[in-house]
Each structure stands twice: as C-alpha cells, then as structure tokens.
Amino acid sequence: HQFRIAMLPGRPRVSLGEHLELIEAICARDAVAAEEAARRHLHSVIDALKAGDHAPSGLGPSL
C-alpha cells in the first residue's frame, strides 16, 4: 500500500507535511498534539487509499 499511495499525485508532499507536524509535536513533548497529528495522518492515508481505488489505470489496487 505504501508504494501505491506514494504514486498518487501530490501525496508525498502531503505525507511529508503530516510527518513533520507529528515530529514537531513529539519534539515539543506535546502528547495531545502528537496524537491528533497521528490521527489526522492516518485518516488522510485512509482517504488517499480510498481515492486510489478510483485512480487512473496503474494507480489503483492490484488484483
């Protein structure tokens, strides 16, 4: 799934921002912000995977 999601247009940039947000919260020792950032990222990944199911040929799920 990681490769499939990484191939979606714009997704690497989105994931990078989400990861940086999570790292910043962890470095600040802000557990609440870290949990919120992690949850946002996971929901974003799930949404991207669902969107990938409708992606053009070659970017959708493999059978």
How many Å apart are CA 55 and CA 5, to the nearest integer? 11
What confidence score (pLDDT) does residue 51 get? 80
Is residue 61 in some structural domain? no
Q: How far is residue 26 from each of residues 15, 18, 30, measured CA to CA in Å? A: 16, 13, 6
What confidence score (pLDDT) does residue 49 get? 84
- Domain count across the chain: 1
Domain range spanning residue 48?
A: 2-52
Q: How far is residue 42 from each of residues 15, 39, 47, measured CA to CA in Å? A: 10, 5, 9
- Type of residue at 18: E
Residue 4 tokens read as: 């499939």
Which tens digits make up the pLDDT trace of 6-61?
777 888 899 999 999 999 999 999 999 999 999 999 999 999 888 876 555 444 44
Q: Which helix (H) or strand (E) holds 49?
A: helix 31-52
What confidence score (pLDDT) does residue 22 get? 98
Is residue 60 in some structural domain? no
Is residue 59 in some structural domain? no
